[in-house]
Copies of this chain bind each other. A is one copy, B any other.
Amino acid sequence: MRITLVGAGRVATHLVKALKSQHEIVQVFSRNLKHAQQLAGQVHAQAIDSADQLTSQTDLVIVAVSDLGIADVVGSIAAYLPQNLIVHTSGSTSLIALQQRHQRAGVFYPLQTFSFEREVDWLETPLFVEAAHQQDLTLLTNLANSLSNRVYQYSSQQRQTLHLAAVFACNFSNYCYDMAKQVVDAEQVDFSLLFPLILETAKKATNTDPKQMQTGPAMRGDQNILTMHQALLSQSNRPDLEEVYRLMSEGIFKRHLNKFE
Protein backbone atom coordinates (compact mmCIF):
# COMPACT_ATOMS: atom_id res chain seq x y z
CA MET A 1 0.00 0.00 0.00
CA ARG A 2 0.97 3.62 -0.59
CA ILE A 3 0.48 5.57 2.65
CA THR A 4 0.63 9.27 3.56
CA LEU A 5 1.31 10.33 7.13
CA VAL A 6 -0.07 13.60 8.48
CA GLY A 7 1.72 14.45 11.72
CA ALA A 8 5.27 13.75 12.89
CA GLY A 9 4.78 13.10 16.61
CA ARG A 10 5.11 9.90 18.63
CA VAL A 11 2.24 7.96 17.03
CA ALA A 12 3.22 9.00 13.48
CA THR A 13 6.86 8.10 14.14
CA HIS A 14 6.04 4.64 15.48
CA LEU A 15 3.55 4.00 12.67
CA VAL A 16 6.10 4.91 10.00
CA LYS A 17 8.66 2.57 11.58
CA ALA A 18 6.12 -0.25 11.73
CA LEU A 19 4.72 0.23 8.20
CA LYS A 20 7.91 0.85 6.22
CA SER A 21 8.95 -2.79 5.74
CA GLN A 22 5.71 -3.85 4.04
CA HIS A 23 4.34 -0.58 2.68
CA GLU A 24 5.48 2.55 0.89
CA ILE A 25 5.34 5.84 2.80
CA VAL A 26 4.88 8.44 0.06
CA GLN A 27 4.63 11.70 2.00
CA VAL A 28 5.00 12.98 5.56
CA PHE A 29 3.09 16.20 6.20
CA SER A 30 3.77 18.42 9.21
CA ARG A 31 3.32 22.15 9.75
CA ASN A 32 6.88 21.94 11.07
CA LEU A 33 8.93 21.08 7.96
CA LYS A 34 11.96 20.00 10.03
CA HIS A 35 9.86 17.41 11.87
CA ALA A 36 8.43 16.21 8.56
CA GLN A 37 11.93 15.95 7.07
CA GLN A 38 13.32 14.04 10.05
CA LEU A 39 10.60 11.40 9.77
CA ALA A 40 10.34 11.31 5.95
CA GLY A 41 14.12 10.97 5.66
CA GLN A 42 14.00 7.61 7.47
CA VAL A 43 11.84 6.08 4.71
CA HIS A 44 12.77 8.11 1.60
CA ALA A 45 9.35 9.79 1.61
CA GLN A 46 8.64 13.37 0.56
CA ALA A 47 8.46 15.86 3.42
CA ILE A 48 5.85 18.59 2.98
CA ASP A 49 4.49 21.40 5.14
CA SER A 50 1.62 22.67 3.00
CA ALA A 51 -1.66 20.90 2.15
CA ASP A 52 -1.55 21.88 -1.53
CA GLN A 53 1.54 19.66 -1.91
CA LEU A 54 -0.41 16.54 -0.91
CA THR A 55 -0.57 13.90 -3.63
CA SER A 56 -3.80 12.04 -4.32
CA GLN A 57 -1.69 9.10 -5.58
CA THR A 58 -1.95 7.34 -2.21
CA ASP A 59 -4.14 4.52 -0.85
CA LEU A 60 -4.47 5.84 2.67
CA VAL A 61 -3.93 9.09 4.55
CA ILE A 62 -3.29 8.59 8.27
CA VAL A 63 -3.89 11.69 10.39
CA ALA A 64 -1.83 10.98 13.52
CA VAL A 65 -2.28 14.19 15.49
CA SER A 66 -3.77 14.92 18.92
CA ASP A 67 -7.56 14.83 19.31
CA LEU A 68 -7.64 18.62 19.55
CA GLY A 69 -6.01 18.94 16.11
CA ILE A 70 -7.98 16.36 14.11
CA ALA A 71 -10.88 18.58 12.98
CA ASP A 72 -8.64 21.44 11.85
CA VAL A 73 -6.17 19.19 10.07
CA VAL A 74 -8.83 17.21 8.22
CA GLY A 75 -10.59 20.48 7.34
CA SER A 76 -7.39 21.80 5.80
CA ILE A 77 -6.45 18.68 3.77
CA ALA A 78 -9.81 17.21 2.68
CA ALA A 79 -10.23 19.58 -0.29
CA TYR A 80 -6.96 18.28 -1.80
CA LEU A 81 -7.86 14.61 -1.32
CA PRO A 82 -11.58 14.40 -2.15
CA GLN A 83 -11.48 10.74 -3.30
CA ASN A 84 -8.94 9.41 -0.76
CA LEU A 85 -9.49 7.41 2.40
CA ILE A 86 -8.54 9.53 5.43
CA VAL A 87 -8.33 7.97 8.91
CA HIS A 88 -7.48 9.25 12.37
CA THR A 89 -5.70 7.28 15.11
CA SER A 90 -7.67 8.40 18.15
CA GLY A 91 -9.54 6.39 20.78
CA SER A 92 -11.98 9.09 21.78
CA THR A 93 -12.75 10.94 18.54
CA SER A 94 -15.75 9.38 16.77
CA LEU A 95 -15.86 8.32 13.15
CA ILE A 96 -18.67 10.83 12.59
CA ALA A 97 -16.48 13.75 13.70
CA LEU A 98 -14.22 12.97 10.73
CA GLN A 99 -17.06 12.00 8.37
CA GLN A 100 -18.61 15.46 8.79
CA ARG A 101 -15.56 16.85 7.02
CA HIS A 102 -14.71 14.03 4.60
CA GLN A 103 -16.85 11.33 3.08
CA ARG A 104 -14.30 8.45 2.88
CA ALA A 105 -13.55 8.45 6.61
CA GLY A 106 -12.06 5.81 8.87
CA VAL A 107 -10.30 5.06 12.14
CA PHE A 108 -7.06 3.17 12.81
CA TYR A 109 -6.57 3.14 16.61
CA PRO A 110 -3.58 1.41 18.24
CA LEU A 111 -4.23 0.79 21.96
CA GLN A 112 -0.74 1.43 23.30
CA THR A 113 1.34 4.14 24.96
CA PHE A 114 4.01 5.55 22.65
CA SER A 115 7.31 7.15 23.61
CA PHE A 116 10.18 8.20 21.42
CA GLU A 117 12.53 6.32 23.76
CA ARG A 118 11.00 2.85 23.44
CA GLU A 119 10.22 0.34 20.68
CA VAL A 120 6.62 -0.89 20.35
CA ASP A 121 5.71 -4.58 20.07
CA TRP A 122 3.22 -4.16 17.23
CA LEU A 123 2.36 -7.87 16.96
CA GLU A 124 0.87 -7.69 20.49
CA THR A 125 -0.64 -4.21 20.20
CA PRO A 126 -4.44 -4.34 19.76
CA LEU A 127 -5.57 -2.38 16.69
CA PHE A 128 -9.14 -1.15 16.26
CA VAL A 129 -10.49 -0.22 12.82
CA GLU A 130 -13.70 1.46 11.73
CA ALA A 131 -14.79 2.97 8.39
CA ALA A 132 -17.75 4.67 6.76
CA HIS A 133 -17.62 2.23 3.80
CA GLN A 134 -17.31 -1.55 3.78
CA GLN A 135 -14.46 -1.62 1.21
CA ASP A 136 -12.47 0.80 3.35
CA LEU A 137 -13.09 -1.32 6.43
CA THR A 138 -11.65 -4.30 4.55
CA LEU A 139 -8.62 -2.25 3.46
CA LEU A 140 -7.96 -1.06 7.04
CA THR A 141 -8.43 -4.58 8.44
CA ASN A 142 -5.88 -5.93 5.97
CA LEU A 143 -3.44 -3.19 6.83
CA ALA A 144 -3.92 -3.82 10.57
CA ASN A 145 -3.40 -7.56 10.05
CA SER A 146 -0.06 -6.80 8.39
CA LEU A 147 1.11 -5.27 11.69
CA SER A 148 -0.66 -7.01 14.56
CA ASN A 149 -2.15 -10.34 15.63
CA ARG A 150 -4.88 -8.52 17.54
CA VAL A 151 -7.16 -6.68 15.10
CA TYR A 152 -10.75 -5.71 15.95
CA GLN A 153 -13.57 -3.97 14.08
CA TYR A 154 -14.93 -1.77 16.88
CA SER A 155 -17.58 0.96 16.91
CA SER A 156 -16.75 4.50 18.03
CA GLN A 157 -18.61 3.84 21.28
CA GLN A 158 -16.63 0.68 22.09
CA ARG A 159 -13.40 2.48 21.26
CA GLN A 160 -14.41 5.33 23.54
CA THR A 161 -14.95 2.89 26.43
CA LEU A 162 -11.54 1.35 25.81
CA HIS A 163 -9.86 4.74 25.75
CA LEU A 164 -11.54 5.80 29.00
CA ALA A 165 -10.38 2.54 30.62
CA ALA A 166 -6.89 3.12 29.20
CA VAL A 167 -6.72 6.50 30.93
CA PHE A 168 -7.23 4.69 34.26
CA ALA A 169 -4.96 1.73 33.44
CA CYS A 170 -2.12 3.70 31.84
CA ASN A 171 -2.20 7.47 32.43
CA PHE A 172 -3.37 7.24 36.05
CA SER A 173 -1.16 4.30 37.01
CA ASN A 174 1.81 6.18 35.53
CA TYR A 175 0.85 9.19 37.63
CA CYS A 176 0.84 6.87 40.68
CA TYR A 177 4.44 5.93 39.81
CA ASP A 178 5.26 9.61 39.40
CA MET A 179 3.78 10.43 42.83
CA ALA A 180 5.68 7.49 44.40
CA LYS A 181 8.89 8.87 42.92
CA GLN A 182 8.17 12.31 44.37
CA VAL A 183 7.67 10.73 47.81
CA VAL A 184 11.01 8.88 47.79
CA ASP A 185 12.91 11.71 46.05
CA ALA A 186 11.96 14.10 48.86
CA GLU A 187 13.68 11.77 51.37
CA GLN A 188 16.67 10.85 49.17
CA VAL A 189 15.45 7.26 48.93
CA ASP A 190 16.20 5.44 45.65
CA PHE A 191 13.14 5.08 43.37
CA SER A 192 14.57 1.94 41.75
CA LEU A 193 13.89 0.04 45.00
CA LEU A 194 10.23 0.10 43.92
CA PHE A 195 10.80 -1.43 40.47
CA PRO A 196 10.19 -5.10 41.42
CA LEU A 197 6.96 -4.03 43.13
CA ILE A 198 5.78 -1.98 40.13
CA LEU A 199 6.46 -4.80 37.66
CA GLU A 200 4.94 -7.52 39.86
CA THR A 201 1.78 -5.45 40.45
CA ALA A 202 1.31 -4.99 36.68
CA LYS A 203 1.98 -8.67 35.93
CA LYS A 204 -0.52 -9.73 38.58
CA ALA A 205 -3.25 -7.60 37.01
CA THR A 206 -2.78 -9.41 33.70
CA ASN A 207 -3.08 -12.84 35.36
CA THR A 208 -5.87 -12.40 37.89
CA ASP A 209 -8.72 -9.93 38.44
CA PRO A 210 -7.02 -6.85 39.99
CA LYS A 211 -9.84 -6.61 42.53
CA GLN A 212 -8.70 -9.97 43.95
CA MET A 213 -5.06 -8.83 43.86
CA GLN A 214 -5.60 -5.64 45.90
CA THR A 215 -3.34 -5.32 48.95
CA GLY A 216 -2.37 -2.50 51.32
CA PRO A 217 -3.61 -0.58 54.36
CA ALA A 218 -6.79 0.79 52.73
CA MET A 219 -8.02 -2.68 51.74
CA ARG A 220 -7.29 -3.98 55.25
CA GLY A 221 -9.06 -0.95 56.74
CA ASP A 222 -5.94 -0.15 58.79
CA GLN A 223 -6.86 3.32 60.05
CA ASN A 224 -3.57 3.72 61.98
CA ILE A 225 -1.43 3.44 58.85
CA LEU A 226 -3.82 5.54 56.77
CA THR A 227 -3.71 8.33 59.36
CA MET A 228 0.08 8.09 59.66
CA HIS A 229 0.61 8.25 55.87
CA GLN A 230 -1.68 11.26 55.53
CA ALA A 231 0.15 12.99 58.39
CA LEU A 232 3.47 12.35 56.61
CA LEU A 233 2.14 13.93 53.41
CA SER A 234 0.71 16.84 55.36
CA GLN A 235 4.05 17.43 57.16
CA SER A 236 5.79 17.36 53.77
CA ASN A 237 3.42 20.12 52.66
CA ARG A 238 1.97 18.01 49.84
CA PRO A 239 -1.80 18.60 50.08
CA ASP A 240 -2.12 17.38 46.46
CA LEU A 241 -0.69 13.95 47.29
CA GLU A 242 -2.69 13.89 50.54
CA GLU A 243 -5.94 14.41 48.66
CA VAL A 244 -5.12 11.64 46.17
CA TYR A 245 -4.15 9.37 49.08
CA ARG A 246 -7.45 10.07 50.85
CA LEU A 247 -9.68 9.59 47.80
CA MET A 248 -7.96 6.44 46.50
CA SER A 249 -7.89 4.86 49.97
CA GLU A 250 -11.56 5.62 50.46
CA GLY A 251 -12.35 4.04 47.08
CA ILE A 252 -10.32 0.91 47.86
CA PHE A 253 -11.83 0.58 51.33
CA LYS A 254 -15.41 0.82 50.03
CA ARG A 255 -14.66 -1.58 47.18
CA HIS A 256 -13.52 -4.23 49.70
CA LEU A 257 -15.97 -3.49 52.52
CA ASN A 258 -17.71 -6.83 52.09
CA LYS A 259 -14.49 -8.58 53.17
CA PHE A 260 -15.00 -7.22 56.68
CA GLU A 261 -18.70 -8.08 57.03
Binding site for B on A (CB under 8 A): 66-68, 92, 111-115, 117-118, 120-121, 124-126, 150, 152, 157-158, 160-162, 164-181, 183-184, 186-187, 189, 191-211, 213-220, 222, 224-225, 228-229, 232-233, 240-241, 243-245, 247-248, 251-252, 254-255
Contact = CB atoms under 8 A, between A and B. Distances in A.
A170 B215 contact: yes
A208 B124 CA distance: 22
Which of A68, A124, A168, A254 has the most chain B CB atoms inside 10 A of its CB? A168
Nearest to A178: B210
B125 A175 contact: no
26 contacts: A67-B217, A112-B196, A112-B197, A113-B197, A113-B201, A113-B215, A118-B203, A120-B200, A124-B196, A126-B196, A152-B193, A158-B189, A160-B228, A161-B232, A162-B194, A164-B183, A165-B181, A169-B180, A170-B198, A171-B219, A173-B173, A173-B177, A174-B204, A174-B213, A175-B255, A244-B247
B183 A161 contact: yes
Given A117-B207, A175-B252, A166 B180 contact: yes
